[in-house]
Structure 1
Amino acid sequence: MPRDVFLPVAAQPSVDALVEQAQLGEQLGYDTAWLPETWGRDAVTTLTCIAQGTDDIDIGTSIMPVYSRSPALIGQSAATLQEVSDGRFRLGLGPSGPVVIENWHGVDFGNPLRRTRETVDVVKQVLAGEEVTYDGEYFDLEGFRLRCDPPEPTPPVDAAGMGPKAVELAGRFADGWHALLFTRDGIRDRLEDFDRGSEMGDRDRDDQRVTLSLTCCVLDDAEEAKSLVKQHTAFYIGGMGTFYRDSLARQGHEETAHEIYDHWQDGDQAAAMDALDDDLLEEIAVWGTPDTAPDHFERFADIDGVESASVSFPRGADLDQIESTMRALAPE
C-alpha cells in the first residue's frame, strides 16, 4: 500500500518549512504529500512552491473547501498545479463544515452534498478542456473554457465525506475518497457505500483511490505522543462542529462521542480528553515510540478497499515531533 504524508495543519512557521517537509517526505519514499487548506497558508500558492522544490513525490489538496472558490477557479488552479508539478497533482475537494464556512468565509453552508457534486462535475469539465455548460442548483455556467491547453494527464478529482450519502457520492462522481477519523470496522461500513456509489456511476473501481488519514505521533516518550494525539482527536470530535461527533457515533461509539462533544462545548477540555479512552484511541490513531508505532500503523495497512494510508500529525506537534514521526513511519 502506498504511504502518504499529510503536511501539518498547525505547524506552518513558513512556506519554506512546508517545502522542506515535502522534500523530506520525498527523500523518505512517501508517495504523496497532501496539504490541507484551513486557516493557515493557502493550498494553491504553497503547493506551487512544493512542486517547484520537489521532483518525484505527488502533491495534492486534502481538502480544498468547495465554498471558498468557484468551481471554475478550482478547475483553473488544478490545471495550473498539474502543469507546474509535471503531472504530479491530485485534487481533493470537500465541504468542510458550517463552523468554518459560515463563521470564517461568511458563506451559507447550504446543501453540502449537492454543492460538492456540482463542484466536482464542473471541475471535471474544466479540466477536460470542454466549453462548460452547466445548469445546477448552485451553479449556472455557460461559455467558460480554459484559455490554455487542458492538463495532460488530467488530474484526478477526489472528494471527502463522512456520512453514508457523502461517501456514496464520492464513489459515484469522484476519482477517490478521503477518509478521516475512522476505526477499522467503521471504514469498512463506509467502503460499502463507496463501492455502491462506484457501481451506480458505472465507474471502474480499480481506477478509484481511497485514502485513509491517520493521526500519528512517534516520539521517544510514548506518553507525550499519546497526549498530543488524544488532544487533537478530542478537539476534532468536540470542537469542529458535529460531523466528526456524528461519524464516531455511527461507528458504534455514540455515548463516548457525545460525552467528548459535550465536555468540549462546556469548555472542559481535560474532561473531553479523559472521555476518550486508550482502547478507542488505538482504533483511530497511531502513537508510540519508534520501536512500537510502525507495527501499530501496519494494522491499518491491510484494510481491503483502502488504497493508501496517510500519516498526519496532531495540531499541537512541533516541527521536531513531525520529523520524528515521518522518519519512524516512513515506507520501508
Structure 2
Amino acid sequence: MRARWGLTVPLTGVPLISHRPLLDELADAGYTDLWSSEVAGTDAFTPLALASTWSPTLRLGTAIAPVFTRGPGLLAMTAATMAEAAPDRFVLGIGASSPVVVEDWNAQPYRDPFGRTRDTLRFLKRALAGELVDEEYPTFAVRRFKLERPPASPPPILLAALRAGMLRLAAAEADGVILNWLAADDLPRVRAELAGAKEGFETVARIFVCPTDDERYARELGRRMIAGYLTVPAYAAFHRWLGRSDVLEPMWTAWAAGDRRAATAAIPDEVVDALILHGNPQACRAKVEEYVRQGVQTPVIALLPTPELATGSGGVLRTVLLDLAPPVTEV
C-alpha cells in the first residue's frame, strides 16, 4: 500500500483564506493529508476546521497541540468538535511542546513534560470515548468531566516523541507517533524503541523541504533553523541520543557562550543536508520517499521559503506543490 502523503498548513506567505483553491488540486495530485502546527503563527485547529469544509477528502491532523496550553477538558472539547466536523478524517496529535511556548508565551508552568503528556493522553482516550472522567492524575486532577457531544468515532491520538521514554509511551498507549527534526537515516534507531506497538500504529514524520537549486541559500536557511531548534534542551538531548554529539558540540558550545553567529557557522554541511531536504522539487520528493522506505507511513512536508517562491507568482507555488506530490504508482 502506498504511504500517505501530507503537507503542513498554512503555507508560509499564503493568507489562510487563499488556501482554498489549492486544496482540491492537492488531493487530485495525490496528497492525502493536511497537518497543522502550533508555535506562534496560527493555532493548531482553525486551519483544519476551514479545510474540513474546503476539501472533504483530505485527512486532517494536529502536529502538535501542546498539552500545557489548554486545559484537559478544553483540549477534549476542541478535538471532539474537529472529529464531528470531519468524521473519520481527523487525527489528534499532542505533545509537550517547549518551555518557550508554554512558559514564556503562554504563562503556564512547564513541569514534568513526560508526566503531563502521559496523563493527558490517558484522559483524552477516556473523554473522547464519552466516559465520565473523575480522576486524580499525577500531574492534574479532573472532576466529573463528560463531553456533551462525544464524537461518534473517537479520533486516533498520536504522540509527539523524541527519545526512548516518550517513544515507548507512544508505542504502549497511543495510536501512533509524530517525529520531527530527524534524518531518514535516524529512523532505525527511533523505530527500535517502538517495538511492540499495536497493529495499525502509525508513524508520522514532519520533514523540512526547501525546494531550490540554490544550495548556498538552502544551507544558510537550514543553519539558522537548526541553530534555533537544536539548541533547545529537548532537541539537543534528542540529537545527542541519535549520535550527533561530536558534530554538534561546537554549535552548542558557541550558543551557550552567547555567540549565535559562531554557533550557526559551526553546523556542518552534512548535518544541514540530512535535516533540511533541498534541491529541485523532484530531488526533494525522492528524498522524502527515503523516509517512507525507512518505515514512515505518513511523511508530512513542511515547505520552506525559497528565492523562487519569494519572487514568483502564485503559479510557482502551485507548480512546486504538484512537483512535490507523490509519484503515481500502479495499484
Q: TM-score, normalised by structure 1?
A: 0.87
Cα separation, partners in 2 of 1:27 and 1:259, compared to 1, 3 Å: farther
Give, in whole Å, the separation in 2 of the partners of 1:291 and 1:284: 17
Moved more, 283-292 or 55-64: 283-292
Q: 2:9 aligns with which of 7, 21, 32?
A: 7
Cα separation, partners in 2 of 1:252 and 1:20, compared to 1, 3 Å: farther
RMSD: 2.4
Give, in whole Å, the separation in 2 of the partners of 1:280 and 1:231: 12
The answer on 1:331 being equivalent to 2:326 is yes
Match of 2:151 in 1: 151
Mapped contact 1:221–1:289 kept (Cα < 8 A): no
What one-letter code is carried by the residue in structure 2 that aligns with 1:330?
A: A
Encode CA deviations 1:57-97: one digit per residue, 9 max, x unaligned: 11111010000111221111111111112321100000011
List runs of 5+ in structure 1 lacking aligned partners: 199-203
Match of 2:41 in 1: 40
Match of 1:201 in 2: none
SS in 2 for 1:292: helix
Deviation at 1:328, TM superposition (A): 2.6
SS in 2 for 1:147: coil
Match of 1:260 in 2: 251
The answer on 1:311 being equivalent to 2:301 is yes
The answer on 1:213 being equivalent to 2:214 is no
Deviation at 1:104, TM superposition (A): 0.9
The answer on 1:274 being equivalent to 2:269 is no
Q: 1:236 aligns with which of 229, 237, 255?
A: 229
Deviation at 1:211, TM superposition (A): 0.7
Give, in whole Å, the separation in 2 of the partners of 1:268 and 1:313: 28
Encode CA deviations 1:90-111: one digit per residue, 9 max, x unaligned: 0000001112211111111110
Cα separation, partners in 2 of 1:61 and 1:266, compared to 1, 3 Å: same
Match of 1:59 in 2: 60
Cα separation, partners in 2 of 1:222 and 1:46, compared to 1, 3 Å: same
Match of 2:180 in 1: 180
Deviation at 1:209, TM superposition (A): 0.4
Give, in whole Å, the separation in 1 of the partners of 2:211 and 2:301: 11
Mapped contact 1:234–1:260 kept (Cα < 8 A): yes
Deviation at 1:243, TM superposition (A): 1.4
List runs of 5+ in structure 2 lacking aligned partners: none
Match of 2:51 in 1: 50
Give, in whole Å, the separation in 2 of the partners of 1:325 and 1:68: 35
Deviation at 1:254, TM superposition (A): 0.5
What one-letter code is carried by the residue in structure 1 that aligns with 2:58?
A: I
Mapped contact 1:178–1:210 kept (Cα < 8 A): yes
SS in 1 for 2:300: strand
Give, in whole Å, the separation in 2 of the partners of 1:62 and 1:229: 21
Give, in whole Å, the separation in 2 of the partners of 1:324 and 1:262: 41
What one-letter code is carried by the residue in structure 1 that aligns with 2:224?
A: Q
Encode CA deviations 1:31-56: one digit per residue, 9 max, x unaligned: 21100011112122222112121111
SS in 2 for 1:297: helix
Mapped contact 1:263–1:271 kept (Cα < 8 A): yes
Residues 126-205 of structure 1: matches in 2 within 5 Å? 126-148=127-149, 150-196=150-196, 198=197, 204=198
- The percentage of counterpart residues that share the same residue type is 25
Mapped contact 1:293–1:329 kept (Cα < 8 A): yes
